[in-house]
Amino acid sequence: MGNRGTEIDSGLSLLVDTDGPAIRRIVLDPASPIQNDTQSPVTLTVLTRLEGQTLVFQDATPMDGTYLYSVSSLRSENGQEAESSPSAPVSVEADAQAPDAPQDLTLLLIPLGIEAQWQAVTGEAVVYRLYRSDAMQITSAQGLPPVEATFNGAKALDRKPSPTAHTYVVTAVDPAGNESAPSNSVYLNFDLLPADTITVEQADDAQPVLSWTHPGGSLAGFDVYMGPVGQSVKVNTDLVSATQLTDTGYSGDPREYSVIAVDANDVESQARAIRLPAIRAERTDAKLLRRGIMNKLEYTVTNLSGQTDGQRPAPDPHPARQRASQRTLLPFRQPEQRHPGDRGRLRRPARRRAPYRHRADDPQPR
């Protein structure tokens, strides 16, 4: 280093050779600034000494850049103190600079919700946050909760729009957590939202049940369309006030469903649609189910929606028996028990058979 000894008298200087061997440890006592070479200065800083069981230290770095950190342990005994070797250094990139704000935000009302699109931020990897408010303009995202939207690059979909919050902005967030200023504020004027969720459930041989939800607003009811794919028709004469309907015309074919919200002025929302495909599930092997062990069942699921009626296989003539065989619960084998009075003999539990309940639609009771 160009210096000898372990101490420097007050008022003298320490020349640190940055091209020489790496400095392992420098102790300042008292903690005071070091005057180093003015042509190639090296900033050395004593951070802190943590007492007790404190294992967390937060460093407020003076500027952005790469910092190396290391930690050592101290042991005090008989008025003397010993210090361990420092840990392996950890490199941390300090970044307090927020990314640029996204530009050119646009909004579009589609059947799935509110679609937002903007120009992507360049220069660094960022993620985005979407905000909405009932104000006519958003100048700051402070205090606003982010919208639980689905993001895809520089696009976002708000699947559950608010009937009152029509103003949106988007921000960019870098890997360090710095959030940009909000983008341009956009207000989308809409009076009637489409249904925000729609589901259809068909279990075993039961008829499909269509369900949906709506965020509310000036709503008078719903029009519902059901039928084969491409041939659905409106099934209601008066507006439907419920949010659930059963498809009584189902016969195993692919079905298509649409729900349209209607307000008090007979203005219709965009349709929210869903399809129920015709599928077939078959066992891929004929292995028997064994009692007392874990059984693995493999099925092949085939989508039959693109086939005509003549190409589809005939339905199972005994669906009840098929369901019963698939839902049989096999009890685990109980461990063998040894009675305290028995010597060398094992007492096995009594065998139990899985219960069988005869169903009215099972042609051959067992």
Torsion sign (Cα): 62, 67, 73, 79 = negative
What are the helix (H) ranges across the chain? 319-326
**271 and 112 Cβ atoms separated by less than 8 Å:** no
The answer to whether residue 132 sits within a structural domain is yes
Question: Which residues contact residue 164 at a Cβ distance below 8 angstroms, ignoring those fewer than 6 apart?
Answer: 134
**CATH number where 129 lies:** 2.60.40.10
> Cβ-count burial of 20 within 10 angstroms (0-12 exposed, 13-18 middle, 19+ buried)?
exposed
The answer to whether residue 75 sits within a structural domain is no
**319 and 204 Cβ atoms separated by less than 8 Å:** yes
Torsion sign (Cα): 263, 265, 269, 275 = positive
The answer to whether residue 34 sits within a structural domain is no
Task: Look at residues 187, 208, 233 and tell me which one is the last residue of a structural domain.
Answer: 187
Alpha carbon separation from 130 to 84, 101, 174, 177, 328 (Å, rounded): 49, 12, 15, 15, 49
Task: Look at residues 187, 208, 223 and tell me which one is the last residue of a structural domain.
Answer: 187
Token couple for 325: 């065989």
**Amino acid 10: pLDDT:** 56
Task: Look at residues 187, 208, 227 and tell me which one is the last residue of a structural domain.
Answer: 187
Assess whether 266 and 297 both reside in one domain: no
The answer to whether residue 335 sits within a structural domain is yes
**Amino acid 325: pLDDT:** 34
Collapsed DSSP state (helix, strand, coil) of residue 326: helix
Assess whether 287 and 347 both reside in one domain: yes
Q: How far apart are CA 8 and CA 17, in angstroms?
A: 16
Q: How far apart are CA 144 and CA 182, in angstroms?
A: 12
Assess whether 220 and 291 both reside in one domain: no
**Paired residues of 279 in beta bridges:** 303
Torsion sign (Cα): 160, 165, 167, 171 = negative
Assess whether 145 and 211 both reside in one domain: no
Q: How far apart are CA 117 and CA 163, in angstroms?
A: 20
The answer to whether residue 17 sits within a structural domain is no
The answer to whether residue 31 sits within a structural domain is no
The answer to whether residue 16 sits within a structural domain is no
Assess whether 201 and 180 both reside in one domain: no
Rama region for 266: left / alpha / beta (φ>0; ψ in -120 to 50; rest): left
What's the total number of domains in the chain? 3
Q: How far apart are CA 110 and CA 108, in angstroms?
A: 6
**Tens digit of pLDDT per residue, the chain (366 long)?**
444 555 555 555 556 555 555 555 555 544 444 444 555 554 556 678 887 777 888 888 888 888 888 888 888 888 888 888 888 888 888 888 899 999 999 999 999 999 999 999 998 899 999 999 999 999 999 999 999 999 999 999 999 999 889 999 999 999 989 999 999 999 998 888 899 899 999 998 899 999 999 988 778 999 999 998 888 899 999 999 999 999 999 988 899 999 999 988 888 999 999 999 988 888 888 888 899 999 998 999 888 876 665 555 554 544 433 333 334 344 444 444 555 555 555 555 555 555 544 444 444 444
The answer to whether residue 33 sits within a structural domain is no
Range of the domain at 239: 197-276
**Amino acid 119: pLDDT:** 96
The strand ranges marked E within 152-231 are 155-158, 167-173, 186-187, 197-201, 209-213, 221-228
Assess whether 253 and 295 both reside in one domain: no
Assess whether 147 and 132 both reside in one domain: yes
